[in-house]
Amino acid sequence: MDCTPAKTPLASKSKLTSDSGALLHDVTSYRQLVGRLTYLTSTRPDLAFSVQQLSQFMDKPTDQHLQAAHRILRYLKACPSNGLFYPSSSPLDLRAFSDSDWAGCLESRRSITGICIFLGNSQISWKSKKQPTVSRSSSEAEYRALASTVCEVQWLHYLLHDLGTTLGHATPLFCDNNSTIQIANNLTFHERTKHIEIDCHIVREKGLGFFDSLGFVSMCEFVEGFGILRDLEVVYKSFMLSIRRFLGELGI
Protein backbone atom coordinates (compact mmCIF):
# COMPACT_ATOMS: atom_id res chain seq x y z
CA MET A 1 0.00 0.00 0.00
CA ASP A 2 1.61 3.21 -1.22
CA CYS A 3 0.97 5.63 1.64
CA THR A 4 2.75 7.39 4.48
CA PRO A 5 2.56 5.45 7.79
CA ALA A 6 0.68 7.17 10.63
CA LYS A 7 1.66 7.10 14.30
CA THR A 8 -1.91 6.87 15.63
CA PRO A 9 -5.22 5.46 14.35
CA LEU A 10 -6.89 8.89 14.60
CA ALA A 11 -5.50 12.39 14.52
CA SER A 12 -5.25 13.78 18.04
CA LYS A 13 -7.56 16.72 17.23
CA SER A 14 -10.02 14.73 15.13
CA LYS A 15 -13.64 15.69 15.84
CA LEU A 16 -15.90 13.75 13.52
CA THR A 17 -19.58 14.65 13.17
CA SER A 18 -22.33 13.55 10.80
CA ASP A 19 -22.17 16.83 8.84
CA SER A 20 -18.38 17.12 8.56
CA GLY A 21 -17.38 17.04 4.91
CA ALA A 22 -19.28 16.25 1.73
CA LEU A 23 -21.46 13.17 1.42
CA LEU A 24 -19.98 10.26 -0.51
CA HIS A 25 -21.71 9.37 -3.77
CA ASP A 26 -20.91 5.68 -3.25
CA VAL A 27 -21.03 4.56 0.39
CA THR A 28 -20.24 0.91 -0.34
CA SER A 29 -16.47 1.22 -0.11
CA TYR A 30 -16.68 3.04 3.23
CA ARG A 31 -19.02 0.47 4.74
CA GLN A 32 -16.88 -2.41 3.52
CA LEU A 33 -13.72 -0.82 4.92
CA VAL A 34 -15.24 -0.11 8.34
CA GLY A 35 -16.68 -3.63 8.43
CA ARG A 36 -13.24 -5.11 7.83
CA LEU A 37 -11.70 -2.85 10.45
CA THR A 38 -14.39 -3.91 12.91
CA TYR A 39 -13.41 -7.53 12.32
CA LEU A 40 -9.78 -6.59 12.87
CA THR A 41 -10.54 -5.21 16.35
CA SER A 42 -10.96 -8.84 17.45
CA THR A 43 -7.17 -9.00 17.71
CA ARG A 44 -6.23 -5.31 17.70
CA PRO A 45 -7.57 -3.48 20.78
CA ASP A 46 -5.62 -0.39 19.72
CA LEU A 47 -8.21 0.12 16.97
CA ALA A 48 -11.27 -0.12 19.19
CA PHE A 49 -11.88 3.58 19.78
CA SER A 50 -11.15 4.74 16.24
CA VAL A 51 -13.35 2.06 14.66
CA GLN A 52 -16.12 2.87 17.14
CA GLN A 53 -15.96 6.48 15.98
CA LEU A 54 -16.17 5.57 12.30
CA SER A 55 -19.00 3.05 12.76
CA GLN A 56 -21.33 5.88 13.81
CA PHE A 57 -21.48 7.20 10.26
CA MET A 58 -22.35 4.09 8.26
CA ASP A 59 -25.67 5.60 7.10
CA LYS A 60 -24.36 8.79 5.48
CA PRO A 61 -20.54 8.81 5.44
CA THR A 62 -18.63 11.82 4.15
CA ASP A 63 -15.24 12.34 2.57
CA GLN A 64 -13.78 13.27 5.97
CA HIS A 65 -15.02 10.02 7.46
CA LEU A 66 -13.38 8.12 4.61
CA GLN A 67 -10.18 10.08 5.14
CA ALA A 68 -10.22 9.08 8.82
CA ALA A 69 -10.72 5.44 7.81
CA HIS A 70 -7.76 5.68 5.44
CA ARG A 71 -5.65 7.02 8.31
CA ILE A 72 -6.29 3.76 10.18
CA LEU A 73 -4.89 1.92 7.17
CA ARG A 74 -1.84 4.17 7.33
CA TYR A 75 -1.50 3.31 11.01
CA LEU A 76 -1.72 -0.39 10.21
CA LYS A 77 1.06 0.05 7.69
CA ALA A 78 3.23 1.47 10.47
CA CYS A 79 2.67 -1.59 12.70
CA PRO A 80 1.29 -4.46 10.58
CA SER A 81 2.79 -7.26 12.67
CA ASN A 82 1.40 -6.30 16.07
CA GLY A 83 -0.76 -8.93 17.71
CA LEU A 84 -1.87 -10.17 21.09
CA PHE A 85 0.37 -12.72 22.79
CA TYR A 86 -1.04 -15.26 25.26
CA PRO A 87 1.76 -17.04 27.16
CA SER A 88 1.04 -20.48 28.59
CA SER A 89 2.62 -19.53 31.90
CA SER A 90 0.31 -16.59 32.58
CA PRO A 91 -1.29 -16.69 36.07
CA LEU A 92 -5.03 -17.34 36.33
CA ASP A 93 -6.17 -14.08 37.88
CA LEU A 94 -8.37 -11.35 36.43
CA ARG A 95 -7.66 -7.63 36.51
CA ALA A 96 -10.19 -5.11 35.23
CA PHE A 97 -9.69 -1.50 34.13
CA SER A 98 -12.53 0.93 33.52
CA ASP A 99 -12.54 4.41 32.01
CA SER A 100 -14.78 6.94 30.31
CA ASP A 101 -14.54 10.31 28.70
CA TRP A 102 -17.27 12.87 29.38
CA ALA A 103 -19.72 14.09 26.73
CA GLY A 104 -17.27 12.97 24.07
CA CYS A 105 -19.87 12.74 21.31
CA LEU A 106 -20.31 16.25 19.90
CA GLU A 107 -23.82 15.54 18.62
CA SER A 108 -25.48 13.56 21.42
CA ARG A 109 -23.07 14.53 24.24
CA ARG A 110 -23.05 10.93 25.38
CA SER A 111 -19.83 9.56 26.84
CA ILE A 112 -17.66 6.69 25.61
CA THR A 113 -17.01 3.72 27.89
CA GLY A 114 -13.64 1.98 27.71
CA ILE A 115 -12.99 -1.44 29.26
CA CYS A 116 -9.88 -3.63 29.42
CA ILE A 117 -9.76 -6.95 31.27
CA PHE A 118 -6.70 -9.16 31.66
CA LEU A 119 -6.28 -12.81 32.56
CA GLY A 120 -2.81 -12.73 34.03
CA ASN A 121 -0.79 -10.60 31.62
CA SER A 122 -3.02 -11.42 28.66
CA GLN A 123 -5.74 -9.09 27.48
CA ILE A 124 -8.90 -11.13 26.94
CA SER A 125 -11.68 -8.54 26.83
CA TRP A 126 -11.89 -4.94 25.65
CA LYS A 127 -14.65 -2.58 24.64
CA SER A 128 -15.16 0.95 23.39
CA LYS A 129 -18.85 1.84 23.34
CA LYS A 130 -21.03 4.91 23.55
CA GLN A 131 -23.11 5.04 26.72
CA PRO A 132 -26.91 4.84 26.28
CA THR A 133 -27.67 8.03 28.22
CA VAL A 134 -26.15 11.47 28.77
CA SER A 135 -24.13 11.87 31.97
CA ARG A 136 -24.33 15.08 33.97
CA SER A 137 -20.77 14.86 35.28
CA SER A 138 -17.52 13.05 34.60
CA SER A 139 -18.02 11.02 37.78
CA GLU A 140 -21.38 9.81 36.53
CA ALA A 141 -19.89 8.83 33.18
CA GLU A 142 -17.06 6.98 34.94
CA TYR A 143 -19.55 5.19 37.18
CA ARG A 144 -21.62 3.98 34.24
CA ALA A 145 -18.41 2.61 32.73
CA LEU A 146 -17.62 0.96 36.05
CA ALA A 147 -21.02 -0.76 36.10
CA SER A 148 -20.43 -2.11 32.59
CA THR A 149 -17.02 -3.41 33.65
CA VAL A 150 -18.52 -5.17 36.66
CA CYS A 151 -21.05 -6.96 34.44
CA GLU A 152 -18.32 -8.00 32.01
CA VAL A 153 -16.18 -9.40 34.82
CA GLN A 154 -19.16 -11.30 36.22
CA TRP A 155 -19.74 -12.90 32.81
CA LEU A 156 -16.05 -13.86 32.57
CA HIS A 157 -16.20 -15.47 36.02
CA TYR A 158 -19.16 -17.57 34.91
CA LEU A 159 -17.44 -18.46 31.62
CA LEU A 160 -14.24 -19.56 33.35
CA HIS A 161 -16.30 -21.61 35.81
CA ASP A 162 -18.06 -23.37 32.92
CA LEU A 163 -14.64 -24.16 31.46
CA GLY A 164 -13.61 -25.80 34.71
CA THR A 165 -11.28 -23.01 35.80
CA THR A 166 -11.41 -21.64 39.33
CA LEU A 167 -9.79 -18.29 40.01
CA GLY A 168 -7.53 -18.12 43.02
CA HIS A 169 -8.94 -14.85 44.35
CA ALA A 170 -11.35 -12.03 43.63
CA THR A 171 -10.71 -9.50 40.88
CA PRO A 172 -9.10 -6.09 41.49
CA LEU A 173 -10.89 -3.30 39.63
CA PHE A 174 -9.22 -0.02 38.69
CA CYS A 175 -10.40 3.35 37.44
CA ASP A 176 -8.88 6.83 37.28
CA ASN A 177 -11.59 8.86 39.04
CA ASN A 178 -11.48 9.25 42.82
CA SER A 179 -15.08 10.50 43.02
CA THR A 180 -16.29 7.33 41.33
CA ILE A 181 -14.36 5.20 43.82
CA GLN A 182 -15.86 7.13 46.73
CA ILE A 183 -19.40 6.67 45.40
CA ALA A 184 -18.80 2.93 44.99
CA ASN A 185 -17.45 2.58 48.53
CA ASN A 186 -20.23 4.65 50.11
CA LEU A 187 -23.19 2.41 50.95
CA THR A 188 -25.53 5.40 51.40
CA PHE A 189 -27.37 6.90 48.44
CA HIS A 190 -27.38 10.68 48.20
CA GLU A 191 -29.31 13.24 46.19
CA ARG A 192 -26.48 13.58 43.70
CA THR A 193 -26.33 9.84 43.00
CA LYS A 194 -29.98 8.78 43.02
CA HIS A 195 -30.27 9.12 39.23
CA ILE A 196 -27.61 6.41 38.84
CA GLU A 197 -28.96 4.26 41.66
CA ILE A 198 -29.32 1.18 39.45
CA ASP A 199 -25.67 1.35 38.44
CA CYS A 200 -24.76 1.85 42.10
CA HIS A 201 -26.62 -1.33 43.04
CA ILE A 202 -24.90 -3.24 40.22
CA VAL A 203 -21.43 -2.22 41.34
CA ARG A 204 -22.06 -2.76 45.05
CA GLU A 205 -24.06 -5.99 44.97
CA LYS A 206 -22.21 -7.80 42.20
CA GLY A 207 -18.92 -6.43 43.40
CA LEU A 208 -19.32 -8.17 46.74
CA GLY A 209 -18.85 -11.57 45.13
CA PHE A 210 -16.31 -10.86 42.42
CA PHE A 211 -14.02 -8.03 43.52
CA ASP A 212 -11.58 -7.69 46.38
CA SER A 213 -10.64 -4.05 45.79
CA LEU A 214 -11.51 -0.92 43.84
CA GLY A 215 -8.42 1.18 43.29
CA PHE A 216 -7.17 4.30 41.58
CA VAL A 217 -4.70 4.21 38.72
CA SER A 218 -3.39 7.36 37.07
CA MET A 219 -4.01 7.93 33.39
CA CYS A 220 -0.26 7.82 32.71
CA GLU A 221 -0.29 4.19 33.87
CA PHE A 222 -3.76 3.42 32.60
CA VAL A 223 -4.11 0.64 30.05
CA GLU A 224 -7.29 2.21 28.68
CA GLY A 225 -5.04 4.42 26.62
CA PHE A 226 -4.38 1.30 24.57
CA GLY A 227 -6.67 2.53 21.83
CA ILE A 228 -9.86 2.23 23.88
CA LEU A 229 -10.13 5.98 24.38
CA ARG A 230 -8.79 8.88 22.35
CA ASP A 231 -5.10 8.65 21.43
CA LEU A 232 -2.65 11.42 22.31
CA GLU A 233 -0.17 11.62 19.46
CA VAL A 234 2.51 13.38 21.50
CA VAL A 235 2.88 10.52 23.99
CA TYR A 236 1.55 7.68 21.88
CA LYS A 237 4.84 6.03 20.94
CA SER A 238 6.27 5.78 24.47
CA PHE A 239 2.83 4.93 25.86
CA MET A 240 2.40 2.03 23.45
CA LEU A 241 5.81 0.65 24.36
CA SER A 242 5.00 0.65 28.07
CA ILE A 243 1.63 -0.99 27.46
CA ARG A 244 3.18 -3.71 25.30
CA ARG A 245 5.50 -4.55 28.15
CA PHE A 246 2.53 -4.68 30.51
CA LEU A 247 0.00 -6.81 28.66
CA GLY A 248 2.10 -8.79 26.21
CA GLU A 249 1.35 -6.92 23.00
CA LEU A 250 3.92 -8.44 20.64
CA GLY A 251 5.36 -7.71 17.22
CA ILE A 252 5.46 -11.11 15.57
Strand partners, 215: 174
Maximum mean pLDDT: which of 14-23, 51-60, 205-214, 223-232: 51-60
* pLDDT at res. 249: 47
pLDDT band at 126, cuts 50/70/90?
very high
Percent of the chain with pLDDT over 70: 73
pLDDT band at 231, cuts 50/70/90?
very low
Instruction: State the Cα–Cα distance between residues 28 and 235, nearest whole angstrom.
Output: 35
Residue 252 scores a pLDDT above 50: no
Q: What are phi and psi for residue 241, nearest 5 degrees?
A: -65, -40
> Is the dihedral angle over the CA atoms 148, 115, 140, 12 positive or is it negative?
negative
Phi-psi region for residue 227, left (φ > 0), alpha (ψ -120 to 50) or beta?
A: left
- The arrangement of strands across the sheet holding 122-130 comes to 122-130, 112-119, 94-100, 171-175, 211-216
* pLDDT at res. 87: 85
pLDDT band at 155, cuts 50/70/90?
very high
Residue 235 scores a pLDDT above 90: no
Amino acid of residue 78: A
Residue 18 scores a pLDDT above 50: yes
Residue 55 scores a pLDDT above 70: yes
Q: What are phi and psi for residue 64, nearest 5 degrees?
A: -70, -35
Amino acid of residue 92: L
Amino acid of residue 117: I
pLDDT band at 12, cuts 50/70/90?
confident
At the fourth CATH level, the homologous superfamily of domain 94-247 is Ribonuclease H-like superfamily/Ribonuclease H (3.30.420.10)
Helices (H), the chain: 28-40, 48-54, 63-78, 138-162, 178-185, 197-201, 207-210, 236-247
Mean pLDDT of 49-75: 96
* pLDDT at res. 211: 56
Structural domain boundaries in the chain: 1-80, 94-247
